[in-house]
Amino acid sequence: MRPFGYAAPATVDQAVGLLEAEGSEALAGGTDLLSLLKDDVERVDRLVALRGVPGLSGLELDGGMLRVGAMTTLQELRDHDGAIAALPALAVAIDGVASPQLRAMGTVGGDLLQRPRCWYYRRGFGLLALAADGRSMVADGDNRYHAIFPEGEARFVNPSSLAPLLVALGAEAVIHGPAGERRLPVEALYRAPQAAGERENTLAPGELLVGVEANVEGSRSAVYEVRQRRALDWPLMAAAVSLAGSGPRTERARIVLGHAGPVPHVATAAGDVLSGQELTPETVAAAADATVEGARPMSGNRYKVQLARTAVRRALARAAGMEF
């Protein structure tokens, strides 16, 4: 690693002040950032250590509202019986990070804001991986794990384990910055960069994700991940669903894909298919088909379209307590 400075703020305000300076990066669990620094993919002048900042870790369940600090580790969240009982899908999403060491080190904020796994990005070719002649190295190259819903030249996939579920639940991200606090839907944390040097998140310099809040009551939710191996890897495809409504009919359904596009893919049309419907094998299949409508797979990842369909079907079945 190249040399860098290190500051350990004692408050969120101090952290924000330090992060405003160019070349400063927040250090949470470090499991992603240190690898990027070792590989010289990212460079920093100073790391701002969040580990000792009081108030950034911990969680509470208040009524149906789950509030989780950004520095809460994945294992701490997994071990919170109340949170898991209220939202069993959370256990599936966290267990997908299939390494006790990563769960012990990795944080909720770090999971949400980890950098893409795209191997062109990880080899230093940038998030858009454009060759000197402007052609996409991803489209021309090995894109087996890349987006089936690319946005412009952004063909990497959002790697977060928690984001699809949080987006399906309509969770909010709480952000502190130089101008104070702002809140936004978790999906608005992300964007598809379109120019070299742009990031895949919407945080401004000095802004810090301090936590997330989700209403975990009044809906049934589920996560289904399709994996190549059970340990130590990101899924090939993930679907998260949230169903609202009492009785057999679904009033509102939210269906979100992870690992499908540069941002968590909200399949609005697929949710609409289920609106006012009972969940049956037929309606579930129709929603799964609607999820992948408009998908634009590349040369090597057509299989992910079928994985997405299957993941949605199984997540819906899981949420509804149906066999699949």
Partner 1 sequence: MTDDAKRSGLSRRSFLRSGAAGALSGGLAAGLLTGDAAGAAAATDAESPDTVGPGPVEIELEVNGATRRLAVEPRVTLLDGLRDRLDVTGPKRVCDRGTCGACTVLEDGRPIYACSRLMIESAGRSITTVEGLGSPDAMHDVQQAFVENDAQQCGYCTPGFVVATAALLARHPAPSEREIEAGLGGNLCRCGTYKGIRAVVEGAGGGGVSGG
Residue numbers at the binding site for partner 1 (CB under 8 A) = 1-11, 13-14, 17-18, 27, 29-31, 34-35, 37-38, 46-47, 49, 51-52, 54-55, 75, 95, 98-102, 104-105, 230-232
Q: How far apart are CA 307 and CA 289, in angstroms?
A: 11
> Which of 13/289 has CB closer to partner 1?
13
Cβ count within 10 A of residue 80? 19
| 236 contacts 259 by C-beta, under 8 angstroms | yes
> Which of 7/59 has CB closer to partner 1?
7
Q: Which two tokens stand for residue 301?
A: 């990842």
Query: Mapping DSSP to helix (H, G, I), strand (E, B) and coil, where does residue 83 land?
Result: helix
Minimum separation from the CB atom of position 246 to partner 1 (A): 34
- Sequence-ordered alpha helix ranges (H) in 114-155: 119-122, 137-140
Minimum separation from the CB atom of position 165 to partner 1 (A): 19
> Which of 103/304 has CB closer to partner 1?
103
Minimum separation from the CB atom of position 11 to partner 1 (A): 5
| Contacts of residue 131, Cβ cutoff 8 Å, sequence gap at least 6 | 137, 140
Minimum separation from the CB atom of position 258 to partner 1 (A): 20
Minimum separation from the CB atom of position 274 to partner 1 (A): 32
CA atoms within 13 A of residue 135's CA, in its CB half-sphere: 5
> Which of 49/285 has CB closer to partner 1?
49
Cβ count within 10 A of residue 77? 24
> Which of 29/261 has CB closer to partner 1?
29
